[in-house]
Amino acid sequence: GAVVSQHPSRVICKSGTSVKIECRSLDFQATTMFWYRQFPKKSLMLMATSNEGSKATYEQGVEKDKFLINHASLTLSTLTVTSAHPEDSSFYICSAPTGSNEQFFGPGTRLTVL
Amino acid sequence: EDQVTQSPEALRLQEGESSSLNCSYTVSGLRGLFWYRQDPGKGPEFLFTLYSAGEEKEKERLKATLTKKESFLHITAPKPEDSATYLCAVQPHEGGGYNKLIFGAGTRLAVHP
């Protein structure tokens, strides 16, 4: 199947700092990517849809100024958690659909805010 | 409101004991239904996409089926390495382009030797 990578896989930061997470489609182009958040033993919650060349679409209740999304190219989307606080600690996962509508997920990024 | 419900929440099987996981859904218009496997601390691994009632897909010990209201993931003669959380997601029709997935809470499967 198609490959989606994320970097970093794990990050620990101090409260008040910003953290950037990268999502790349390695062997295909993705005009759309999705960002999810997952709490322990819970399912995936869609945060936003990242669109190449236009603004991201955020789900209800997700602060767009808190979670900045930039779809810089057809293979890269970034999620920046601004002024992070302990409640932002979570597992963040991105996904990208291929031309045949199969959606592949990255390995996830574990964010811990102290 | 689009909704996905998976049952059971957790399932414990003996190696070789076949069973089925259920995914019930309500959606205004179904574009596709997806099954994923997720291991702890990892991203979901794509298994199947089903698009129409009556469709079936198989991969090794797994077979997914779809009706107008639910999908089943059948596991035949499971092995301990099949232990994981299995996630079901629906993709509603929302115009053109690539649409988001709405996930169920998952079924945590444990297969014991």
Q: Which residue bears the tokens 């298994």?
A: B47
Amino acid of residue A40: P
Give contacts of A49 with chain B, Cβ < 8 Å. Answer: 100
Alpha helices in B1-113 (DSSP H): none
**Is A85 touching B (CB cutoff 8 A)?**
no
Amino acid of residue B102: I
Residues of chain A with pLDDT under 50: none
**What is the arithmetic mean of pLDDT over B80-109?**
88
Task: Using CA coordinates, name the residue in chain A closest to B42.
Answer: A107
Handedness of CA A59, B31, B5, B9 (dihedral sign): negative
CA dist B81 → B9, B78, B87, B110, B113 (Å): 19, 8, 16, 9, 10
**Is A110 touching B (CB cutoff 8 A)?**
yes
CA dist B58 → A45, B55, B71, B76, B109 (Å): 27, 10, 13, 11, 18
CA A105 to chain centre: 10
- The C-alpha of B17 sits at a distance from chain A's nearest C-alpha, in angstroms, of 25
The rounded percent of chain B whose pLDDT value lies above 90 is: 84
Yes or no, beta carbons of A107 and B46 under 8 Å apart:
no
Per-residue confidence at B83, pLDDT binned at 50, 70, 90? very high
Task: Using CA coordinates, name the residue in chain A closest to B10.
Answer: A41
Give the pLDDT of residue B97. Answer: 54
Among A57, A92, A105, A110, pick the best mutation site for testing chain B contact (most B Cβ within 10 A).
A105
